[in-house]
Amino acid sequence: MDPRSGYPIYLQIVEQIQRAVAVGRLTPGEQLPTVKQLASDLLVNPSTIARALRELEHLGIVDSLAGRGSWVRRDGATAAASRVAGDAVASALAAAVREARALGVDRTQLRDLFTSAVETWYRDDA
């Protein structure tokens, strides 16, 4: 959770929860902390949490009810989380590949650059 990463806070929260669901660290039916709780834990404004929740609901990963709280959706949450992850990565890769093509980089160079990027960022685990 880094406010000055240039990367929006609410998206960082979305990613973390989304990943937790995809990996199984959060299970379908499980209740999430309240907006206030998360806000005070992460030292951000409740509105920012709310926005992240709205996004997660829109993605089909979380269900929220006013006066009750928020839960990981019982049906399809895990699948939705995986699908969302795949879509996000696919579109990021598409952007990179399109740029490569626009700049006149050929398939082989592109492949090498990709391999090297993977080596760099997937060093130990994953």
**Binding flag, residue 16, DNA (CB under 7 A):** no
Nearer to DNA, 50 or 79 (CB): 50
Nearer to DNA, 19 or 54 (CB): 54
Which residues make Cβ contacts (< 8 Å) with residue 92, sequence separation at least 6? Answer: none
Which residues make Cβ contacts (< 8 Å) with residue 19, sequence separation at least 6? Answer: 81, 85
Q: Mask of contacts with its own copies, 21-60, x by CB under 8 A?
A: -xx-------------------------------------
Which residues make Cβ contacts (< 8 Å) with residue 5, sequence separation at least 6? Answer: 12
Which residues make Cβ contacts (< 8 Å) with residue 4, sequence separation at least 6? Answer: none
- Sole window of 33-41, 44-52, 57-65, 81-89 interacting with its own copies (rule: CB under 8 A): 81-89
Q: Mask of contacts with DNA, 63-102, x by CB under 7 A?
A: -xxxxxxx--------------------------------
Helix (H, G, I), strand (E, B) or coil at 83: helix
Q: Taking each helix axis from N to C terminus, what angle separates 46-58 and 35-42, rounded to the nearest 10 degrees?
A: 120
List the structure tokens of 61: 């990963």
80 binds, among DNA, its own copies, none (CB under 5 to 8 A by kind): none
Which residue of 37, 40, 91, 116 would you call a contact of DNA, by CB under 7 A? 37
